[in-house]
Amino acid sequence: MTGRTPSSRSGLPPVSAQPAAPASSGRSGASSGGSGGAATGRGRVVQRPRQAARPQARQAARPAAPARARQGEPGARPGVPGSRPPGWRTAALRSTVSRSSAERFAARVRRRRRRRAAVTGSAMALGLVLGWLLFGSSLLAVRRIEVRGVHRVPAAAVREAVRFEIGHPMALVSPDAAAAHASAVPLVRSVRVVRSWPSTLVVEVVEREPIAAVPAAGGRLALVDGDGVVVETVAAAPAGLPVLQVDVATAGPAALRAARAVSDGLPQPVRDQVRSIGAASPDGVQLVLTDRSTVQWGSADRSADKAQALLAVHPKPGERPTVIDVTAPDAPAVHR
């Protein structure tokens, strides 16, 4: 039992023992066999993994070596090929972002400049067109003169005084100069000239209005305004217009206005007794009553008090004419 071998049991021819081959020959045999199998000392065949697959697995597991930095690339260190400092990827990204941001900013600046140039050019063109329309074109020149507010004054006379503005550009018309020419027309007290675009000048006239009638040559009456200008000469004063005994040329317009103020301020009881009102100065208004009494009235101040003083000291009917002084209404005086 002990002297039998496994080969004798199976009926196989006996295998002679051979010395083990060195490691180098076994590796070469395995590589030459191509099957990857190797014989053990007991004659068993052991399957080994393929040797060619190991370098591929190692290569796949090994991380890829970084590409060498180019000369002048951000992060490359001079004299050390393939070296990059920590954070080189962030620096490269920042450089790319900075370049793109700068390009977008430059594009915006160019668009803004083009827009500004377009706006400026349009404004200049519009200004030139407006300037030509206002100062060089006949489209906006004076072609018509309209006169308003005249009754006694002939409208043709006012229009003729301002005719020199016909054909001039509306923008160059001087309203003050035109008004000065129109004010020279008789019976015109004041003038206002305004533009009515596109081609009309409107002349607004305020005529002189008489405030009283004063004696004139030949027994006629001159209707004068507050400045003493004769508006009209008539045979009889119009209703509602007082007749004042004032020499405007000597006493002046102020005396005329004072006499008119006294006439307007007289109460009806006094007015019924007044025959005439005259003035030699603004403070020298004088009344002549129907009984031929003379009243020294003075100025137009405190006319109501002076009227009450006159009624208090006026002589009774039938008494001889007197001179009554009410220039100081608190202390009237009677001179017989």
Residues 180-198 pLDDT 10s: 999 999 999 999 999 999 8
On average, the pLDDT of the chain sits at: 79
Q: Which of 209, 216, 150, 161 shows the shortest CA–CA distance to 183?
A: 161
The structure's pTM equals: 0.59
pLDDT higher at 121 or 154: 154
Res. 13 pLDDT band, cuts 50 70 90? very low
Judge whether residue 26 has pLDDT over 90: no
- pLDDT (average), residues 227-243: 94
pLDDT score of 17: 43
**For position 264, what pLDDT does the model report?**
94
Q: State the pLDDT at residue 185.
A: 95
Q: Is residue 59 scored above 70 in pLDDT?
A: no
Give the dihedral sign, CA 307/308/310/315.
Answer: positive
**Structural domain boundaries in the chain:** 93-136, 139-207, 236-335
CATH 3.40.640.10 applies to domain 236-335: no
CA–CA–CA angle 306, 310, 312 (5° rounding): 120
pLDDT at 93: 57
Task: Fill in the amino acid letter for 21.
Answer: A
pLDDT at 46 exceeding the cut of 60: no
pLDDT of residue 57: 46
311 and 304 in contact (C-beta within 8 Å)? no
Mean pLDDT of 197-222: 95
With cut-offs at 50, 70 and 90, classify the pLDDT of residue 221: very high
Measure the CA–CA gap between 147 and 140, rounded to whole angstroms.
20
Q: How high is the pLDDT of residue 323? A: 92
> Distance between the two ends of the chain, CA-based, in angstroms?
200
Higher-scoring residue by pLDDT: 47, 250: 250
Residue 200, pLDDT above cutoff 90: yes
**If we measure between CA atoms, which residue out of 310, 258, 304, 247 comes closest to residue 285?**
258
CA-closest candidate to residue 209, choices 282, 279, 249, 150: 150
Per residue in 77-87, pLDDT (tens digit) is: 555 555 556 55
Helix (H) or strand (E) holding 192: strand 188-196
**Distance between CA 208 and CA 309 in Å, rounded?**
36
Architecture of domain 139-207: Roll (3.10)
Among 21-25, 91-95, 161-165, 218-222, whose mean pLDDT is lowest?
Answer: 21-25
Q: Strands of 323-325's sheet, edge to edge?
A: 244-245, 274-279, 285-289, 294-298, 323-325, 333-335
